[in-house]
Structure 1
Amino acid sequence: MNDVLDELFAAENARDWTTFRALLHPEVEWTLIGSGTTSVVHGRDAYMNRLEATYESAPDAEFTLRRSLRNDAGLIVTELIDNHGNVSVDVFDVRNGLLRREWEFLLGDGAR
């Protein structure tokens, strides 16, 4: 798929926050879109704080990549499912070996 995303996914599932952080652009932007809510996280520190807080409330969560698509401009679209049945579709913008932007569409456990 993409070496950066492969490393990010492996680091996230292993809770290897040092490796994960090193793969983020300093000005990374993460947009989370759920049912009726949208939040935007700006910067590496805020991204890591939000991610770590997510796993504090769900310490056993782990996800699997179902499929991915990419284009020549560096955008990668993935469908992910966690071990609780929650599905998300994520669009990643990877530049110069770092994650620059992520749009995460949280579909929940009712996604078909």
Structure 2
Amino acid sequence: MKNKITFVLSLLFGLLFINGGLNKFLNYMPMPENLPEKMLKAMAAFTEIGWLMPLVGIVEVVGGLLIIIPRTRALGALVIFPIMVGIVLTNIVQDSSGLPFAGVLSVILIWIMLQNKEKYAPLF
């Protein structure tokens, strides 16, 4: 049962990041209209740096794919971790309306990492 829950959460988590990464290239999801001015300025600054958003998009797609595949899930969690830190910090500093969703995603990522902690032991 635990493996099924992990797979479903990993699948949804991975698909969410693949969708977010592909959107950085294809721009098929419109930007919300009610974003605060502070967030709009931050997003404009991120897009002004020409290489940043494509890099984040590639990392999101690759990390999402790695998390979906059970054998590479531990590596995928490491790849997604800095992106998740950026998402949480952006929601804390810029606009806290998305913080509950970012918190749920963080809990899922930490759970995936804790399930694979033996694979991370050589890193420490």
Could you say which structure has the greater relative contact order, defined with CA pairs below 8 angstroms and 6 or more residues apart?
2
Larger Rg: 2
**Shared fold (TM-score greater than 0.5)?**
no
| Structure-2-length-normalised TM-score | 0.26
Instruction: Decide which structure has greater strand share.
Output: 1
| Structure-1-length-normalised TM-score | 0.28
